[in-house]
Amino acid sequence: MVSMSGDTTPAPPSGFDFLEPTAAPDLPSESEAGAEAPTATEATDAGPANEPTGEPSGDNRVQQLETKLAALQAEHETLRGQYVRIAADFDNFRKRQSRDQDDLRLQITCTTLSEILPVVDNFDRARQQLNPQSEEAQTLHRSYQNLYKQLVDVFKQLGVSPMRVEGEPFDPNLHEAVLREPSHDHAEDLVIEELQRGYRLNERVLRHALVKVSMGPGPEAGSASAPEPEQAG
């Protein structure tokens, strides 16, 4: 646009202001940038070297695990041995307790039955000695004999059985010799008479039998049976 005075300087466009140019930031030169910034390889190599790991290496880790495994196996074997011994001790204790209870029960039974046996003996003596004649006496006799039979049946149910000893060889485990006398009819050490009946409880002796034992033929019988010597002519 040409002014009337002849100045040819263009006028600023309307509506716009001139902006003053700002100074550009100082950028480092290429040499300085290369010296300050580490390369990627250097950053990679320097990182792990500067950081403390705190974990053992692979070989040490395997050795530690093997040592720990061996210790656990030894502890397992020790505990297993203790368990086996405790189980065996408990089983023996249980068997011993059961055996002791059985022995105590048998001992109580034997003691109780031994206290009742004299009553059985009295019934047996009455049965052998009494011979009732009148009807009333026979009725009474049958009554207490029925009681005796009931008592014997109870003994059988409990496993009690009488001994049969007459004519048997003398056995100190079963018999108790009260008398010994010579006998021409029985050999030596044979039971010739039962004085008091003995009883068994299953296989156990509840009461020994009181017996009379034969001594065999006496010396007089032996000398009498010997042949007389012949006299010289």
DSSP 3-state assignment of 194? strand
Spatial CA neighbour of 178 closest among 212, 207, 205: 212
Q: Are 162 and 121 in contact (CB under 8 A)?
A: no
**Domains of the chain and CATH, by start:** 161-219 (2.30.22.10)
Q: Give pLDDT, residue 74.
A: 92
136: CB partners within 8 A, 6+ apart: none
Measure Cα distances from 165 to 121, 168, 172, 190 in Å.
Answer: 16, 5, 12, 9
Q: What's the pLDDT at 213?
A: 93
The residues pairing with 191 across neighbouring beta strands, listed in sequence order, are 213
Structure tokens belonging to residue 229: 């010597």
Helix (H) or strand (E) holding 44: helix 40-50
pLDDT at 100: 93
Q: Which ranges of the chain have pLDDT less than 70?
A: 1-56, 218-233
For residue 220, the model assigns a pLDDT of: 57
Q: What is the pLDDT of residue 224?
A: 45
